[in-house]
A and B are shown apart, each in its own frame.
Chain A
Amino acid sequence: MKQGETDMIMVVGGAHQGKRRFAKQLYPDIPWINGETCGEEEIFLCRGIYHFHEYIAERMREGADLSGFSERLYAKNPDIIIVTDEIGYGIVPMDLFQREYREKTGRICTELAERSEEVYRIICGIGMRIK
């Protein structure tokens, strides 16, 4: 699948920047799931997910295999709206799991952003379309 064949949208930025509020203003009528608490399969069926980075962390804690995850996601749910923290924009953590999680999230988000139709980055509550 090439870029332009999905309607995937990403809203990224640091914690507490107003990402979810921004996404809900863009899409006020869709149901959202919480990446912190949703099950592994729910992501393939939902319209929108927030705390997507927590979804990744949760799967990694469970020891799930995330190779090819972004491929699976846009094959099964090409119109998903993903709200995620931007991480890796600071000090490298001491803890090995944190380092791997940070790296993995970065790679997955980069792959998803590449396939996304629109990407917004939120800072101080203000959204900039970066793609």
Chain B
Amino acid sequence: MFRLITGGSGSGKSSYAERQILQFVKERMLQSPGRNLSKNFPCLYIATMKPCGEETQKKIGRHRGLRAGKGFETIECYQGIDKITLPQNSGVLLECISNLAANEFYEEDGTLRDRQETAEKILDGVRHILNQTDHLVVVTNEVSSDVWNYSYETQEYTALIGTVNQQLACMADKVTEVVYGIPVPVKG
């Protein structure tokens, strides 16, 4: 099962996504009686937000608090998820595409890499994870529903996320838009 969760900022995507992955793992455990859940079916959280400055630290802290005590193992991976190796039978939560896309798209000096190549790299990364697990939840972000009054770089970034989201939704078994904590089914 591959699920894609989308929504605006502060919409409750993360906690919804967490509940989904924990549910997956629980169901998997129930199908295999007599086994230790956390040992055999680890819940991995792939964190893509690069800590830089107080604001991101605060966000990361908030998310860590949300996950605390739920049995998640956190892997920080700001770039190159196509190289990641995961333990077997993991439930994986990847959060989130908008951070990963920014990290992959912008060079250190602020210039942009090729948009199509970046989209392909991100999608290859997700395929690479899907080859290692059948329990993946990906969180992405809606960033394109306002007045189109952005810099060239921001327009390119928005287009990149749009392309990646369309492809991910195509691959996903289920797509959900979270609106102020309410899950709205989009696909599946």
Contact = CB atoms under 8 A, between A and B. Distances in A.
Q: Do A and B bind each other?
A: yes
Contact of A17 (B8, B144, B167, B168): B144
B90 interface: no
Interface in B129-171: 140, 142-149, 158-159, 161-163, 165-170
B149 A85 contact: no
Contact of B149 (A86, A93, A126): A93
- B interface, size bucket: 20 to 34
Interface string A97-111: 010011000000000
Interface in B42-58: none
A33 interface: no
A131 B19 CA distance: 31
A interface majority secondary structure: loop
Given A16-B162, A18-B166, A126-B169, A98 B175 contact: no
Given A123-B186, A124-B166, A14 B147 contact: no
A91 B143 CA distance: 11
Given A125-B169, A126-B187, A98 B149 contact: yes
Contacts of A126: 169, 175, 186-187
A101 B148 CA distance: 11
Contacts of B146: 87-91, 93, 102
A123 B142 contact: yes
Most chain B beta carbons < 10 A, residue from A85, A90, A93? A90
27 contacts: A13-B145, A14-B143, A15-B144, A15-B145, A16-B158, A16-B163, A16-B166, A18-B166, A85-B148, A86-B145, A90-B8, A90-B145, A93-B146, A93-B147, A93-B149, A102-B146, A102-B147, A123-B142, A123-B175, A123-B186, A124-B4, A124-B165, A124-B166, A124-B169, A124-B175, A126-B169, A128-B186
Given A14-B144, A15-B158, A123-B169, 16 more contacts: A14-B162, A15-B144, A16-B144, A16-B158, A16-B159, A16-B163, A16-B166, A17-B165, A18-B166, A87-B148, A123-B186, A125-B165, A125-B170, A126-B175, A126-B186, A126-B187
Interface of A: 13-18, 85-91, 93, 95, 98, 101-102, 123-126, 128
